[in-house]
Amino acid sequence: MARRRTEPRGEGMPPPRWWRWGRQAGLPRRPGGAGRAETRGLPASGRDLDRGEGRWQMRIGLNAGIFPGNPLPTEAVRLARAAGADGLELNVAAEGPFSLETPERDLAALRTAAAEAGVDLPTLHCGLHWKYPLTDPDAEVRQRGLDALGRSLEIGAALGGTVLLVVPGVVTPQVRYADAYARAQEGISVLARRAQTLGMRIGVENVWNRFLLSPLEMAAFIDAVGSPAVGAYFDVGNVLAFGYPQDWIATLGRRILAVHFKDYRSDVPGMGGFVHLLQGDVPWAASLAALRAIPYEGYVTAELGPFRHLPQRTAGDTVSAMRAILASG
């Protein structure tokens, strides 16, 4: 069942129904507010629980990569709603049905369709930052990365979103750490100015890029940019191979704009350690306690691929696991 819609804003497009992160860093507050799931026992999706010290909200999102067959964005919206998620994180491609080339009229139609389905489009991911890293020695490659991410910011704003996930760069045998740091600072600063004009924010993600390897360094990197439009997109599973999510969360604090959920087995080396929720070693209770202490009030989005068998069950089973995790905290 679709949620109640707010009044449209701008060119007939409905505004997003949630906006909490901006108030933590001085960005303008958008109209609307976070819708509430009904709370008969366990909520239908996200949470709005009274913990005694006030309200603590987290909402459940799914990255579109969880659906088998790479469905069209409108179909991904339907699948997210059917799975019981509050929000959907789409992945921008270089070309295709949802890409840098998608015209504004199609983005407007997608935003309307999502609002009518009761699904937020709060965060966005563009994987082209791997192909065109902001730390590449070639200035032309860096510019192509800036162009792709700049267009992604425009797409996010058109969809009523707030946060674009950005990998700030990669350290390689050809790219020294010091050079990567300087180039990443420069690139993120350029994107920050564009994000502010659009009412968007940049979430720098902790990934396996041999860069920003500690929470102290990531916090210092974000602070050095010095923009309210830049924060952290924290992934609890990515950090487990070399750190503790509760430590990162406590250090990053209010810099955290969005959160990815995935799990990781510490006894399996490398990429093979990534597993579906509740099958790994992420300390969920400690992680949730750290998020609550901030307090973090926003989306937790599962970034997972489909099951090898019965892949159509992945989204629904993942939402169920996320409900259980949130209920345990």
> In angstroms, rounded to a whole number, what is the distance separating the alpha carbons of residues 184 and 168?
6
Contact 287, 254 (CB under 8 A): no
What domains does the chain contain, in order, with CATH numbers?
A: 49-328 (3.20.20.150)
Taking the C-alpha atoms of residue 68 and residue 32, their distance in angstroms, rounded to an integer, is 33
DSSP 48-59: EEE-SSSEEEEE
Alpha carbon distance 301, 310 (integer Å):
21
Classify residue 157 as left (phi > 0), alpha (psi -120 to 50) or beta: alpha
pLDDT in single tens digits along all 329 residues of the chain: 333 333 333 333 343 333 333 434 344 333 333 333 332 233 344 434 333 344 458 999 999 999 999 999 999 999 999 999 999 999 999 999 999 999 999 999 999 999 999 999 999 999 999 999 999 999 999 999 999 999 999 999 999 999 999 999 999 999 999 999 999 999 999 999 999 999 999 999 999 999 999 999 999 999 999 999 999 999 999 999 999 999 999 999 999 999 999 999 999 989 999 999 999 999 999 999 999 999 999 999 999 999 999 999 999 999 999 999 999 97
Q: Which helix (H) or strand (E) holds 260?
A: strand 256-261
Residues facing residue 89 across a β-bridge: 63
Q: Report which of 17, 5, 62, 51 is spatially closest to residue 323, judged by C-alpha positions.
A: 62
Q: Is residue 127 within 8 Å of 165, Cβ to Cβ?
A: no
